Amino acid sequence: MTSSHITGALQAVSVVTNTWPHSMRFYTEGLGYKILQHGYLTERQRQTFGLHLGKYALLGHEEGSVVRLIETHNTSVQPNRLGARPWDNGLCVIEAGTPDVERAYFKVLRARFGAIAPPTEFDCEGPEPLGYILMRSTAFIGPSGEQLFVTQIVGRKGGVSLLKEQAVEGINAPANAVISLATRAQQRQYEEVLGLVPVNDLTLKQPSAASIMGGPTDMGFEMCLMGHGTERIGMEQHVYAPQHPDYEYETYPCDFSKTGLASACWQGKDVEILRFKLQQYNWKIISEVGLPLRNAPEPKALVFRGPVGEILEVLY
């Protein structure tokens, strides 16, 4: 097996917004996130990711990953995944845990933001480190078109935690970035380039799960929690074509010139080997300047596009 070039857990997800006050209120009043850091992108970052970008805020809790909210001055642009279906290729969803999904759901609604589905229960079972889990989940659409799954683990047999379940007010820090893929061939590139494989791999086909995704009741997918060995890294991949070969699959590449979910970030290692593999497999390197993180306004990172247009940041 290829050595992994990603270590540790999810560090950040980027969300581009042209409705800054509404987005800030969604994350602070609706989700209960704190403003951990704020400022403006550097000139190097703007030259790379877009001159239309300006201020940013890191939102989350004292520990864990952050939502990196970035303002665009393009007031007329629309969400990147506008019109996308759950199975359409690309980086599509932020996933977070909560100790009380009902409370989290009504907190968001009381702040006057919308939900795709009310709290809905479904289960899944797989080999360690997953075990059997009973989940109660809801889904929201943020002001910039970003989709957020929020899950409470209400029952478990065996396994270890799928989502961080610390008791915070509202919703925990993002735990997973979800990527939709059509085929296993796309997923295999993750092993060949990044050394990532499904730590857990199971078919999920339940009408209640499909409703959370915003899909039809017969929608099934192969849910893969990615990582290396038994360590999950906070990347979830949903593979659809094995269950639905007749679907039409479109691709929605990440795009900093639109709004919504734009990138996801992890810690990396063996950067020279990774750079060689990215070039070998034609995963386009966008930048070696990352976007702001905790105490790192301009971190060193390989920023690149994956096989379905997703933008990933690997710190070094």
Range with the poorest average pLDDT among 28-42, 52-66, 168-182, 283-297: 168-182
pLDDT tens digit sequence for 64-117: 999 999 999 999 999 999 999 999 999 999 999 999 999 999 999 999 999 999
Query: Structural domain of residue 192, as residue ranges?
Result: 90-239
Q: Over 60: is that where the pLDDT of 164 sits?
A: no
Spatial CB neighbours of 260, under 8 Å, sequence gap ≥ 6: 15, 16, 79, 80, 81, 142, 144, 145, 146
Spatial CB neighbours of 30, under 8 Å, sequence gap ≥ 6: 107, 108, 111, 113, 140, 170
Q: Binning pLDDT at 50, 70 and 90, where does residue 167 land?
A: low
Residue-level pLDDT at 170? 78
Percent of the chain with pLDDT over 90: 83
Contact predicate 112/166, CB 8 Å: no
Q: Which of 189, 208, 239 is the last residue of a domain?
A: 239
Residue-level pLDDT at 169? 66
Distance CA 262, CA 129 (A): 30
Q: Over 60: is that where the pLDDT of 307 sits?
A: yes
- Residues 53, 176 share a domain: no
- Residues 73, 103 share a domain: no
Residue-level pLDDT at 156? 73
Q: Over 80: is that where the pLDDT of 46 sits?
A: yes
Q: Over 80: is that where the pLDDT of 166 sits?
A: no
Q: Over 70: is that where the pLDDT of 162 sits?
A: no
* CA 256 vs CA 38, 50, 106, 143, 179: distances in Å: 19, 7, 31, 16, 17
Residue-level pLDDT at 305? 98
- Residues 264, 137 share a domain: no
Average pLDDT of the segment spanning 164-182? 83
Q: Which of 213, 239, 265 is the last residue of a domain?
A: 239
44 lies in some domain = yes
- Residues 96, 69 share a domain: no
244 lies in some domain = no
More confident residue, 141 or 156: 141
Distance CA 124, CA 223 (A): 10
Hey, how many other C-beta atoms are within 10 angstroms of the C-beta on 300? 11
Distance CA 172, CA 97 (A): 5
- Residues 100, 23 share a domain: no
Hey, how many other C-beta atoms are within 10 angstroms of the C-beta on 114? 10
- CATH number for 46: 3.10.180.10
43 lies in some domain = yes
Q: Over 80: is that where the pLDDT of 283 sits?
A: yes
β pairing state of 300-305 and 285-289: antiparallel
Q: Which of 182, 207, 239 is the last residue of a domain?
A: 239
- Residues 207, 108 share a domain: yes
* Average pLDDT of the residues of the chain: 93
pLDDT tens digit sequence for 223-243: 999 999 889 999 999 999 999
The answer to pTM > 0.75 is yes
Task: Work out how many domains the chain is built from and give that number.
Answer: 2
Residue-level pLDDT at 23? 98
Residue-level pLDDT at 233? 96
207 lies in some domain = yes
Average pLDDT of the segment spanning 254-267? 98
